[in-house]
Amino acid sequence: MSGPAAGTASAATTTDVVCLGESMVTFLPSQPGRLADVPSFGRGIGGAESNVACALAAAGHRAAWVGRVGADGFGEHLVETIAGYGVDTSAVRRDPDRPTGIYFRTATDRGTDTHEVAYYRAGSAASAMSPANVPYEELFAGRILHLSGITAALSADCLALLRELTAARTGRPLVSFDVNHRPHLWRGGDADASVLLELARRSDLVFVGEDEAEEAWGIVGAEAIRAALPEPSVVVVKRGSAGATVFASGLRPGPRSSIAGGAENAPGAGSTGGGGAECAVGGAESGPDTVTHVPALRVDVVAAVGAGDAFAAGFLSATLRGLPVRDRARHGHLMAAAVLTVPGDLTEPPARDHADRLAALDDDAWGRLRLGPGWTAADRAPEEVRTP
């Protein structure tokens, strides 16, 4: 049962990016330690796709989030908070029979053995999303449709939905897919994480970490990952502290896509406007990949959460603007650095002119750059000359 729309922000005539997925209320610990020892928690929101939508909206793009929440106070909080970032939430549906998902986590890095997360999402409203109850007109209204592998793991219906959305079809927007492998979500299900490879191969732009490709698929190294994903026009391999490697080729023909890679071919290049039938994503029109490696920034990390979503948002923002591949990855790193230097999953991004100046630094200056808490509000001089 789809229920009425839950959103309060009105739909824009033209949307840059539509993000679909589950968002949950997250409870953040008041102090470090085991969940059993934390005396109290603060309330926030968390969800890979809604995080991307919020970051893009905060950066000045027209972003929409499509999801499903319970007809409860937590669902109301999610929709109001996400809409507060400027995200169009008008296509969100309330489910009268299923609750909004919630989770608790510790303050430690997700990659450490001491990190704990307690999810209460089984049977959630979002897990009931299916090809029969999502608003396709809204999903296909944007220049880019952003999806993640988390949704595929929620239920058989959710997996069927992602297969439907990544299927080749006339009028499909450019599909961006973040693999987002979460091992605990695949335990005991009818499918396994190998389906993430299938979904990635059906997409146009893919974000995948070297570590998750090895864990989910047994594939080691950026070149091997690209070989396993020959179909997408752009594959972004995230390599942690080593940076990111971007493989870009001509985007395959489609009614809402172009095979250009420069700003001169991107609608609304250099602005948040646009919304025409093209979106510059790949590199050359034909021929082999261009391979671009962009080192990561040195960051004084406050909390190692939300960086992957922020990187995707920064890369998509620069893609919408038609920036060169190197600068797309640099904007991804900068957006990730903004989130890494605050306690939560979301923060205000750097001003566009500030981020553009940093992304334009020469390789030596980029390598010397180190960012810490408060850097997004810093003046130009301290950040652009700072060295270790």
Catalytic residues: 309
| CB within 8 Å of 385: residues ≥ 6 apart | none
Please provide the DSSP assignment of 294-317 as one string.
Answer: EPPPEE--S--SSHHHHHHHHHHH
Going by their DSSP bridges, the two strands 41-46 and 15-20 should be labelled as: unpaired
Helix axes 325-340, 352-359, angle to 10 degrees: 120
| CB within 8 Å of 367: residues ≥ 6 apart | 295
Reduce the DSSP state of residue 248 to 3 states and report it.
strand
Counting Cα atoms < 13 Å in the Cβ hemisphere of 313 gives: 35
Cα dihedral 23, 194, 239, 26 in deg (nearest 10): 20
Distance CA 151, CA 126 (A): 9
Which tokens in the block code for residue 229? 């994903």
Look up residue 11 and give its DSSP letter. Answer: P
260 with 266: CB under 8 angstroms? yes
Nearest alpha-carbon partner for 26 in 152, 86, 110: 110
Distance CA 234, CA 251 (A): 8
Look up residue 25 and give its DSSP letter. Answer: E
> 334-367 b/e with 16+ CB inside 10 Å = b?
bbbbbbbbbebbbbebbeeebbbebbeeeeeebe
> 175-192 b/e with 16+ CB inside 10 Å = b?
bbbbbbbbeebbeeeeee
| CB within 8 Å of 84: residues ≥ 6 apart | none
